[in-house]
Structure 1
Amino acid sequence: MNKKHSIKNFFGAIAIPLIVAILLQGICLSKGRTMIANITSFDNFIVYVAIVMITTIALSINLNSGRFDFSLGSMSILSSVLGAKITYSVLGGGNYSALMMFVLTVVFGMLLGLISGLLYVALHLPPIITSLGVTLIYEGVLFTITEGRYVMKEVQNASMTAFTGNWIYAAIIIAIVLVLSIGIFDYTKFGYDYNALKNGQKVSVNTGIKEIPNAIGCYVICGGLMGIVGFLNAARNTTINGGQLNFGSISIMFTAFLPMFIGSYISCFANEKIGFLLAALCMSMLNSTFAVFSNEVNASMQAIINAVLLVVFLIYLSNEHLLVSLFIRKHK
């Protein structure tokens, strides 16, 4: 019985990525192209999987607890700029400068997350209001540091190029983040407290669970994750936009909405974090397909397609039981 259940869960988990892969590769083949044409495309594919998966995990941590955090994008960009500036302008870079920037960016991300969490706790305002204020502050600091310019010189070097030119580094980051996030949220006291607060805040607090330290810890973890995203985006794009004001950084966060819903659905069959990884694979396949048809599908059309897919998937989730019952009735 357990074996049958495991097999059912396995096929249930891989169903959506498998359907997406067949559908998108079919579209590419119909035009005489292929979704991933060479090793460079594969490198970009894995890096984008890492970006989407980590952003989705970061978004879900606070969102699942009722804390909508708009500041994720600003934390990502500001931490990467601080990491780049210190690594290359202050410390002078070097052969292993990408690793140094990675570590500094994660540390700055955690620090920015800590500041955001402390402000949320101290101000006693709704988290959505606090996060909007934090976003404006971080974007202002970012603009001041960069003078509104793109950061290019610091991230266009041999060490960063070597990182993006080898998919293994991104795969290692995916594996480490996946293991750590599952370990922290599923197998530690912090994770048990987090899940208890998520499912019943008032009851959990009454039983002695300390909400404030747990919330601050969540913000710190989210900041560290977004630091990784900031580094990956800088390496992938070979530039950082330092002129993002008036909530311009929020677009980074919105890349995680569709994969979060897909991953949450897949979590019916597997661990939620694995669901986010499989959802990120779907989004990376879609992004690779967009790259193949870059001459036919511009950025605006891509945004529209993503929005339509999100709406369609939400409609499916809202009517899943109805659709299943209609399908079963039709085949009786």
Structure 2
Amino acid sequence: MNALASPIFIRLFVKPPLVPLLIVATFVNGFWSVGNLRTLAEAVSTDGIVVVGMTIVMIAGGFDLSVGAVMAMGGVAAVVLLPYGIVVSAVGAAVLGGVSGTLSGLLVTRLRINPFIATLAMMVMVRGAVLAYTDTRPVVSLDDTFLALGGGYPVPYAFMALIAVIALAYLLLNTRPWGRHVYAVGADERAAAMSGLRVQLLKTQCYVISGSLSGIAGLLLAARLGTGSPIIGESTPLTAAAAALIGGASLRGGEGSVAGAFVGLLFIGCLVNVMNILGVPSYYQRMTIGGLLFALVVTDGMLMRLRPR
């Protein structure tokens, strides 16, 4: 039975078939056109930056439901701060996201609140604050420099930013002691603490990274849309969690990679893109992604039970 939990089994049979999906997409009219591929790159860029943060948190044994609300906050903050310059706008979005991540991390590590409950509370609080500040209306930007960030042809600037974030996160997790410590904390928090690792600080840092990346993603999305919307990102936690799980992350922590999560995001992005081309209604698309996440969570739970203790 334990053979079912082996990495080879997971790679071959559990992870979704991205390559077959791309082959099927070949027969969908217009999928491989330059315009559609650019649309796909735009679609996965901002969610992808959020996915990197979510993956880091999950590797550490946590979870972050607040990423969508923080992304909305980052977009609104970026537009509001534009009169002070693009640099202040970007820093403000990242810092506000980092502050929300810090609060989530402290709730989880200091008060020992379940990550789902802690970040759910943060999600509701941040979303409510953004809706109150904007009076539920989007904040419009007419700044040409800011709007240019949402462009880029044929490769969107946001997609370039995503590749840079993935590269930095990969180096941080795989070549630095900090990354090894995060994996150790996620694999066995008690053993990590006994070996001298500062578990609470490490986990809080992961939430700070997730929050900051969500804020930056909000900025880039606002630049593409031309507005900072208080209602964006409602389905982002679902997408981010699904991508991370597809990429090999586990709800119990200690597993996963940003490269794998990127592949998971590409799978979801291609699936949604194909459904858009075929004219599948949005509610069926959400049902599909929700069903995928349900299957991934069930599979992850089964594999956790099958693995030797």
TM-score interval, smaller chain: 0.7 to 0.9
Aligned residue number for residue 23 of structure 1? 24
Aligned residue number for residue 74 of structure 1? 69
Aligned residue number for residue 50 of structure 1? 45
Change (3 A) 1:80 1:52: closer
Match of 1:301 among 284, 288, 303: 284
Match of 2:92 among 104, 117, 124: 104
How many Å separate the matches in 2 of 1:278 and 1:37? 21
Change (3 A) 1:258 1:232: same
Change (3 A) 1:218 1:150: same
CA RMSD of aligned residues (A): 3.1
Change (3 A) 1:71 1:307: closer
SS of equivalent residue, structure 1 residue 68 = coil
Q: Is the 8 A contact 1:58 1:226 kept in 2?
A: yes
Match of 2:172 among 156, 162, 184: 184
How many equivalent residue pairs? Answer: 285
- Offset, 1:208: 1.0
The code of the aligned residue for 1:21 comes to: L
Change (3 A) 1:38 1:191: closer
233-242 vs 134-143, greater mean Cα deviation: 233-242
- Offset, 1:300: 0.7
How many Å separate the matches in 2 of 1:119 and 1:207? 24
How many Å separate the matches in 2 of 1:25 and 1:317? 31
277-286 vs 198-207, greater mean Cα deviation: 277-286
How many Å separate the matches in 2 of 1:233 and 1:308? 26
Name the TM-score, length of structure 2 as normaliser.
Answer: 0.80
Change (3 A) 1:175 1:143: same
- Offset, 1:85: 0.3
How many Å separate the matches in 1 of 2:213 and 2:191? 29
Match of 1:253 among 237, 253, 256: 237
44-53 vs 198-207, greater mean Cα deviation: 44-53
Does residue 264 of the first structure (1) align with residue 265 of the second (2)? Answer: no
Change (3 A) 1:227 1:195: same
Name the TM-score, length of structure 1 as normaliser.
Answer: 0.75
Q: Is the 8 A contact 2:169 2:258 kept in 1?
A: yes
Aligned residue number for residue 277 of structure 1? 262
- Offset, 1:257: 2.9
- Offset, 1:142: 0.8
How many Å separate the matches in 2 of 1:121 and 1:190? 18
Change (3 A) 1:47 1:116: same
Aligned residue number for residue 239 of structure 1? 227
The code of the aligned residue for 2:76 comes to: V
Aligned residue number for residue 208 of structure 2? 220
Q: Is the 8 A contact 1:51 1:229 kept in 2?
A: yes
When Rg is computed on C-alpha atoms for both structures, the one with the higher figure is: 1
Q: Is the 8 A contact 2:246 2:260 kept in 1?
A: yes
Match of 2:151 among 147, 159, 165: 165
State the identity as a percent: 22
Q: Could you report, residue by residue, the CA deviation over 1:55-78 in whole angstroms, capped at 9, with x for unpaired residues?
A: 222222223333232212121111
- Offset, 1:292: 1.9
List alignment gaps of at least 5 residues for structure 1: 1-7, 266-270, 321-332
- Offset, 1:209: 0.8
